[in-house]
A and B are shown apart, each in its own frame.
Chain A
């Protein structure tokens, strides 16, 4: 998957979790949690959805890598290379 494709997948998953999330004004370098008012339960859903779709395991210790949109993409690029 390309960087843009991964970005779109993450945005699609977030939209699916909260269909009123304001994704148009999202700053990719700022924490998703603060901008979209997400909590730990919502983050678990992002992780579970990635696991369901692409069979990738994200250990809890790696959750901080999912803090911003950019850090999510950087973390997932090597893991979704073949997807």
Chain B
């Protein structure tokens, strides 16, 4: 949508083909019991004050021609990384809090931490280069293993498509966007933000078709000539931008040689393995007495080492993210409290259950694992789960079904296409698989790729 706004803004004819009936992709919404629930949003990263003009958020808004004052932004209160019985670090949108927390809990490491931060400030994560191990980089600065694991926990949970380790560029982007910039929500819901973007796109005369997925990308020689939609309609184009993802886009070529021309990387190398199960709980207002207040997000880890990979079991309960969407500055009064709990999950096991001849197995599995999750989360935040008004759980299978990300890989491919280019000279990859991360990052990816590759052609 950002790419579309950018292109339409300069008088070009743009059509967005959206597979789903609603906008938003991974960050959409649905209704249950008359209440709007967001599909994936915990918080938006990259908070920046209005006067910081070069911050990604403000650059993005200028490029989309959306006045910052049209968005009422609610900053996080404080968030926390908790490794129970070992250590806890709180952080907010003031980086100084994290620095003081490191100084307090890891006094021998604060010098190393600041030296690492200075080095990260000098690093350009957007220039194409081979992968560098973030774990090796961080270890070269921080000698304290626990501190290292505590920093990787939120960074990996909020954007890493790699298992175990991650590319240094991705680490830099996430370190900046989570710790140095920070977390916020727009006032209202994700639907309001999507509505604002859609309206801007339409105001520039952009066109959009919903429930109109692309079935095939049509090419001749080095050029994409058009697409065929699920409805059988053939649409010609001069230029094509895909936000479907790298392996997902590759599957849209009917001929093997065209697919190979698009990207030589086999699907095994480009399909992400990281996916999640998330439960949304709506609790009676009185439940707030039961748990600790004032936290926006809690990242927890029970083991000595933080393990970030597809688990052998359906869900990895050893770590997780607990989000309190009501706990942002200026939170709106509601008669319920919402808590979202996220764990790493195994796509294959959830898919097996979903496809089982016993149709109740998938549902039973959800109930079993959500119950176990509640037990563990209750020990961390206080037991509040006796007051549930409504709960819903989505799995990697749900994510794949609604977003078409293969294996429910929320953060996409571990192999990013940093320049957005493909084997075809008028087809570009935009979004998470281009290497920008998060909501602001994905939108900025659309802007940047159109700026670099398309606007100079018209």
Q: In the bound complex, how far is the Cα of B448 from the Cα of A39, in angstroms?
A: 13
A-side interface residues, number (CB < 8 Å): 14
Which residues does chain A contribute within 8 Å of B59, judged by CB atoms?
39, 41
B456 x A45 contact (CB < 8 A) = no
B interface residues, Cβ below 8 angstroms from A: 9-11, 53-54, 59, 62-63, 67, 447, 451, 455-456, 458
A41 x B451 contact (CB < 8 A) = yes
Main secondary structure of the interface of A (DSSP, over half): helix
Cross-interface CB contact of B10 among A18, A39, A42, A48, cutoff 8 Å: A48
Which residues does chain B contribute within 8 Å of A41, judged by CB atoms?
59, 62-63, 447, 451
A interface residues, Cβ below 8 angstroms from B: 17-19, 37, 39, 41-42, 44-45, 48-49, 51-52, 60
CB nearest neighbor in B for A21: B53
Which residues does chain B contribute within 8 Å of A19, judged by CB atoms?
67
25 contacts between A and B (CB under 8 A): A17-B62, A18-B53, A18-B62, A19-B67, A37-B53, A37-B54, A39-B53, A39-B54, A39-B59, A41-B59, A41-B63, A41-B447, A41-B451, A42-B62, A44-B451, A44-B455, A45-B63, A48-B9, A48-B10, A48-B455, A49-B10, A51-B458, A52-B10, A52-B11, A60-B456
Q: Determine how close the nearest CB of chain B comes to the CB of A32; give it in whole angstroms.
A: 13
Q: In the bound complex, how far is the Cα of B63 from the Cα of A37, in angstroms?
A: 15
A51 x B54 contact (CB < 8 A) = no
CB nearest neighbor in B for A60: B456
B10 x A51 contact (CB < 8 A) = yes
CB nearest neighbor in A for B11: A52
Which residues does chain A contribute within 8 Å of B455, judged by CB atoms?
44, 48
Given A44-B455, A51-B458, 7 additional A-B pairs, CB 8 A: A18-B53, A18-B62, A39-B54, A39-B59, A41-B63, A41-B451, A52-B10
CB nearest neighbor in A for B59: A41
Q: In the bound complex, how far is the Cα of B63 from the Cα of A51, in angstroms?
A: 16
Q: In the bound complex, how far is the Cα of B65 from the Cα of A52, in angstroms?
A: 16
Which residues does chain B contribute within 8 Å of A42, judged by CB atoms?
62
Q: Determine how close the nearest CB of chain A comes to the CB of B50; give it in whole angstroms.
A: 8
